[in-house]
Structures are given as C-alpha cells and as structure tokens.
C-alpha cells in the first residue's frame, strides 16, 4: 500500500512562514502540505495563488470570489486532484489522493463574506464521507476531548456532532498544544486531525 507523509499548519497569512514551511516539507520528504490562512495574491485573471515552489503544485478551493483560507501543496512526486464534492467555499477544500479523501478546513467567520457564519455551520461537508477520509485543519474550537485545560467553546457541539455523525476518530494527543504565542502560558489545541474508520488504523503519528 502506498504511504503518504502529510504536514498541516496555519501560516497566519505570512509569505516568509510559507516559504520556510515549504523548505521544511522538502527536508522531511512531505508529500502533502495542508495549509490554513495562506498568504495569497490575486492574479490579473482574478484567480488567487499562494507562494510558488518548484517541487509542489497548489490546489486551491473550488471558488475564486473571495480570498481562500485553505490550500493544499502537492508534491510533484504524487498525483492528487480537487475532489468533485469539494464545496464552493474559501475555507474548505477536498482533494482525492488515489482512494483517500483529504479535507482541509479553516473554521472561522470570513471577513469578506457578508453575514458570514463559521465554516462548520455552512453545511460544507458531504452528507457521507468516503470510508478512507482524513479531516484536518484549524478548527478554532476548544473541547475537553482534545483540550482539557481550556473552557469549552460555545460552538464545540457542532464539531462534536460532525464527529459522531461520521464516526470520526481524533488523532491528536490529548492536551498536546498546537497553537503558541509568546504571551500564552498554556498552549491551545486548535489544529485537529480526524479520520474515518476505514483508514484510522493505517495512520501513524
């Protein structure tokens, strides 16, 4: 069975951080880089792109009206494509890698969408997930299941309902921080990875 190395990170709209992350991905032999809050620029044809890199191709969300906040970088060594069921939403993108679907989400209100609501409330996920699916991203949500030292977010029930509906397993280590700032005493757990039952036992780390 073919294996893939995946790296997920929020780069906070920073071009230098994106460039550094791409270099780290090269050094670690990463196949797929899932980024939230990418640095983007608008091209003359009004499409968006992030930082170019000769070893990776970019796959952006299935829309071009507002700034995308999710992007995949795919190594030139492998084949991956935008999935037919990828939503027309700047904050969620789904790709197919052979028989695996990867779902990259940035869960937040979008400042460029009038009357925007958080991503997970937009009904952007397929009604049924493929048996071999990985859902990963920056969910901006606290819950004792993954972040026992923080107060539970008011919208956490939406994410919990999604995990129950699709029988998703959480791959994070309980309480292991993913979000850091110099003035934060206790790191938060905001970046999460879930997997369906058909692939959860195939995933390491």
pLDDT tens-digit series, residues 80-114: 999 999 999 999 999 999 999 999 999 999 999 99
DSSP the chain: -----EEEEE-TT-HHHHHHHHHHHHHTT-SEEEEES---EE-TTS-EE----TTEEEE--S--SS--SEEEEEETTS--EE-TT--S-TTEEEEEETTEEEEEEE-S--TTSTT---GGGS--S-SS--SSEEEEEE-----TTT-TTSPPPTTHHHHHHHHHHTTPEE-SPTT---B--TT-SS-B--EEEEE-TTTGGG---
Residue 41: pLDDT above 90? yes
Query: What pLDDT score was predicted for residue 146?
Result: 82
* CATH number assigned to the domain comprising residue 168: 3.60.10.10
The mean per-residue pLDDT over the stretch 114-132 comes to 95
Asked whether the beta carbons of 177 and 187 are under 8 A apart, the reply is yes
Pairing of strands 81-82, 92-97: antiparallel
Mean pLDDT of the chain: 91
Least trusted range by pLDDT, from 71-75, 176-180, 186-190: 176-180
Q: 170: domain range?
A: 6-202
56 domain residue, yes or no: yes
Residue 11: pLDDT above 70? yes
Tokens, residue 99: 């028989």
134 domain residue, yes or no: yes
Tokens, residue 163: 């995990």
Tokens, residue 23: 């270099």
Residue position matching structure tokens 């309902």: 161
Cα–Cα distance, 135 to 70 (Å, whole number): 13
Task: Please give the residue that has the higher pLDDT: either 151 or 13.
Answer: 13
The mean per-residue pLDDT over the stretch 43-51 comes to 93
193 domain residue, yes or no: yes
Least trusted range by pLDDT, from 29-43, 99-113, 151-165: 151-165
- Quickly count: other Cβ atoms within 10 Å of residue 40's Cβ: 19
- Quickly count: other Cβ atoms within 10 Å of residue 187's Cβ: 16
Residue 140: pLDDT above 60? yes
1 domain residue, yes or no: no
169 domain residue, yes or no: yes
Nearest to 191 by CA among 72, 105, 70: 105
The mean per-residue pLDDT over the stretch 55-73 comes to 95
The mean per-residue pLDDT over the stretch 114-126 comes to 94
Query: What pLDDT score was predicted for residue 46?
Result: 87
Count of domains forming the chain: 1
71 domain residue, yes or no: yes
Asked whether the beta carbons of 32 and 74 are under 8 A apart, the reply is yes
79 domain residue, yes or no: yes
């Amino acid at each position: 069975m073919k294996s893939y190395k995946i790296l997920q990170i929020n780069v906070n709209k920073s071009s230098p951080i994106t460039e550094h992350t791409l270099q780290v991905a090269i050094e670690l032999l990463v196949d797929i880089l899932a980024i939230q809050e990418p640095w983007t620029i608008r091209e003359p044809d009004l499409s968006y792109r992030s930082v170019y890199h000769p070893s990776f191709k970019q796959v952006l969300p299935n829309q071009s009206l507002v700034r995308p906040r999710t992007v995949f970088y795919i190594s030139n060594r492998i084949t991956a494509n935008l999935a037919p069921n990828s939503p027309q939403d700047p904050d969620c993108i789904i790709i197919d890698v052979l028989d695996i679907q990867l779902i990259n989400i940035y869960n937040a209100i979008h400042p460029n969408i009038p009357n925007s609501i958080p991503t997970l409330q937009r009904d952007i996920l397929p009604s049924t997930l493929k048996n071999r699916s990985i859902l990963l991203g920056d969910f901006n949500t606290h819950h004792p299941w993954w972040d026992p030292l923080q107060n539970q977010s008011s919208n956490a029930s939406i994410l919990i309902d999604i995990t129950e509906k699709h029988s998703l397993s959480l791959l994070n280590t309980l309480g292991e921080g993913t979000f850091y700032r110099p003035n934060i005493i206790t790191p938060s757990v905001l970046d999460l990875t879930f997997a369906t039952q058909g692939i959860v036992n195939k995933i390491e780390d």
